Structures are given as C-alpha cells and as structure tokens.
Amino acid sequence: MRVVVSGAAGFIGSHLCDRLLADGQEVIGLDNLSTGRVENLHHLQDRAEFRFFRHDICEPFQSDGRIDVVYNLACPASPRDYLAAPLETLAACSEGTRNMLELALRHRATFLQASTSEAYGDALVQPQSETYWGNVNPIGPRSVYDEGKRYAEALTMAYHRERGADTRIARLFNVYGPRMKRGDGRVLPAFLDQALRAVPLTVFGDGSQTRSFCYVSDIVEGIVGLAASDEATPVNLGGPDEITVLELAKVVQTVADVDCGVTHLELPQDDPNRRQPDIAKARRLLRWEPEVDLRHGVRLMLASYVE
Ligand SMILES: NC(=O)c1ccc[n+]([C@@H]2O[C@H](COP(=O)([O-])OP(=O)(O)OC[C@H]3O[C@@H](n4cnc5c(N)ncnc54)[C@H](O)[C@@H]3O)[C@@H](O)[C@H]2O)c1
C-alpha cells in the first residue's frame, strides 16, 4: 500500500504515519507546519518508505506513482489554534479537503476525512450517534471549525455520490496522548502542564461539563480499520465513557501525584455541555473497541512530557 497522510506532522497524523509504516506501507506525509511540528516526524527521517513534503493542502498536490489511500487530517484542531486562524481553518476544510478528494479521485484511491464530534455542536441528545444532525451555532467563533468540518463532510459525500469517489468519514471525539503540544489549550495537555508545574488546574465553568477521551493508539486503529471497510457514511470513533471535567482534574492530580487544586474561569462561548459518542456502529462494522484505560493513557502522556 502507498498512502498519503495530510497533517502528518500533527498529533494524530504523526501516530498514524508510525502505525502505517509499522504495517509495511509506504507513506507520503504532507503538512504546512502551521500547528504541527516537524519534531513529531524526526524519528522517521531515515526511513526510505517515508517521504515528507512541506505542503499546504489548499494548493493541489501532484504525486508520482500510485496512491491507495488518502488520509485527510490536515486542519487546525485545538480551539486555541483555530480561533487564532479562522480563515485558514475554513480554507483547510474547504479548498484543502477538495484538493485531497481530487488527489484521491485521480488515483482511484480511498479517501478518509478526519471529522469531529464538534459536528454535533452543543448536542441535545445523549450519547451522540451518527444519525443525530447536531446543534451548531453557524456564526459563533467556533463555527469556523464546526461548520468547516460539516462542510468537509458534505463535500466528501458529494464526491462520493456525484463523482463515485470511494470515501470514509471518521467523526473523532476527544483524542489524547503523547505529542499533543503542552500549550495547545486542550484540556488534558493543559491539566498535565499545570500539574507538572504544581499550579491549580484551570476548569472552565463549574466543571460539570463532560467529555469522553480516547487514547491516540486506539483512534489510529479505528481510522485504519475504517479505511479498510467499505462504509461511506460517518462513523463515530471515541471513548465511550463520559467523565466530567472536574473528575478529569482529579484523575490528572492522582496520576501526577500532586494536590494543586483547581481554579474556575468563565465557560467559553458555545462550549459543548455533554460529549459522549455512541460507538455501536464502529463496534458492529469495524469490530473496533478502545482498549487503553484513561488512567493508563494519562500516565503514558505524563511520562512523555517529562522525558
Ligand atoms: N485531537 C482531537 O481530539 C481531534 C478530535 C476530533 C477531530 N480531530 C481531527 O483530527 C485531525 C488531526 O488533529 P490533531 O489533534 O492531530 O491536530 P494537530 O493540530 O496536531 O494536527 C493538524 C495538522 O494539520 C496541519 N495543517 C493544518 N492546516 C494545514 C494545511 N492547510 N495544509 C497542510 N497541513 C495543515 C498542521 O500543521 C498540523 O500538523 C484534524 O483534522 C482534527 O480536526 C482531532
């Protein structure tokens, strides 16, 4: 197999490259390094089966030779990153996704779009299954990401229906693990960073809002499994267990063995209240099940921060 991974220098993209290379596949990594880091790929620089191109997916990409799968992960993903670059985020989701779809179509390759639980917005149903259409503020500050990803899904389905593209859509819920930037603003890197500095963990609102976390190796298995399936409609991939942000703060303090307390800040606009995937579809179609327990995963992530 010869595959393209866009967003290869990012958190999930770099783990996906590792997984595909371990499987004996040849990987072409694309990234414009806007939010990713080339250090995430340093360990691959001597691998003959890996090639990296500093490339913005908003420009078309030409490749020699055949391509079997295009994994499209390139997009700012942390709220801090996409709120700082709203137009770039919309461009990655629109022109960028279209360029990656065209690349896949030219090579008759499978195309996989990394979508997000943010497509459900501030969900009014619990847990969220793929049949739920979502509750998204289309003009709020977060809409560049939520609506951008919803547009990318619509574009993917249009290429599938009208152009016969072989497509997949993975709706990823909160993913965590090594290589998340300590300062990227997402809750687990932020908590771990604060725990390591022994300062109070910042909780937005009263901390009763929930998230469901999934360790990166589990997500990568789900992504690879979905690409190998023939399911064109969206599939949720995420940890099925819901936890409040306050409970998560306790887990982090226990794992880091610190008692630094929490401070509360005002909840950001349109912050989702509850977030929990229904993963019945992934279980049924892909025989996929997350394996890494939250405490173990947090321990691995903490260890990577103190290496
Ligand atoms: N991490 C999560 O919890 C999560 C949850 C849901 C969905 N996702 C999706 O998974 C993908 C990867 O997320 P991540 O957490 O690894 O984020 P990340 O920021 O670490 O990785 C994204 C990568 O895309 C690159 N990129 C951004 N715009 C680009 C462009 N125009 N051209 C080329 N490269 C570009 C960045 O430089 C970065 O390396 C994203 O599409 C994100 O929306 C992530």
The per-residue pLDDT for range 191-232, each reduced to its tens digit, is: 999 999 999 999 999 999 999 999 999 999 999 999 999 999
Q: Is residue 289 over pLDDT 90?
A: yes
Buried b vs exposed e over 222-252: b needs ≥16 C-beta within 10 Å? Answer: bbbbbbeeebeebbbbbbbebbbbbebbebb
Instruction: Quote the pLDDT of residue 307.
Output: 78
**DSSP 8-state assignment for residue 290:** -
pLDDT the model gives residue 90 = 98
Pocket test for ligand 1, best of 53, 172, 226, 235 (most atoms within 8 A of CB): 172
Res. 185 pLDDT band, cuts 50 70 90: confident
User: What would the two tokens of residue 10 be?
Assistant: 């990012």
pLDDT at 238 over 80: yes
Cβ distance 183 to 125 under 8 Å? no
CB of 187 closer than 6 angstroms to any ligand 1 atom: no
Residue appearing with tokens 């913005």: 56
Query: Which atom of ligand 1 is nearest the CA belonging to 36?
Result: 39
- Our answer on whether the CB atom of 212 is closer than 6 Å to any ligand 1 atom is no
The arithmetic mean of pLDDT across residues 54-65, rounded, is: 96
Percent of all residues in the chain with a pLDDT value above 90, rounded to a whole number: 94
Residue 161, pLDDT > 90, answer yes
pLDDT at residue 184, as a whole number: 85
| 145 CB within 6 A, ligand 1 | no
Whether 112 is in the pocket of ligand 1, judged by its Cβ within 6 Å, is: no
| pLDDT per residue as tens digits for the range 90-143 | 999 999 999 999 999 999 999 999 999 999 999 999 999 999 999 999 999 999
Average pLDDT, the chain: 96
User: In this predicted structure, what is the pLDDT of residue 136?
Assistant: 95
Ligand 1 centroid vs 283 CA: distance in angstroms?
Answer: 25
Distance between CA atoms of residues 176 and 170, nearest Å? 16
How far, in Å, CA of 41 to CA of 7, rounded?
11
pLDDT of residue 270: 77
* 268 pLDDT above the threshold of 90: no
Residue pair 151/94 in contact by the 8 Å Cβ criterion: yes
- pLDDT at position 78: 95
- 185, 265 Cβ separation under 8 angstroms: no
pLDDT of residue 199: 96
> According to the model, what pLDDT value does residue 167 have?
98
The C-alpha atoms of residue 282 and residue 222 are separated, in whole angstroms, by 8
Provide, for the chain, the percentages of residues in helix, strand and coil under a 3-state DSSP scheme, each rounded to the nearest 5: 40, 20, 40
pLDDT given for residue 183 in this prediction: 83
- Which two structure tokens, joined as six digits, stand for 24? 């004996």
- β-strands 110-116, 166-172 pairing: parallel
Active-site positions read 145
What domains sit in the chain, N to C, each tagged with a CATH number? 2-176+214-240+275-292 (3.40.50.720)
| Of 170, 157, 153, 143, the residue nearest 237 (C-alpha) | 170
Confidence of residue 271 (pLDDT cuts 50, 70, 90): confident
Q: How far, in Å, from the CA of 68 to the mean position of ligand 1?
A: 21
Q: How many Å separate Cα 225 from the centre of its chain? A: 16
Mutate to test the pocket of ligand 1, among 5, 19, 31 (most ligand atoms within 8 A of CB): 31
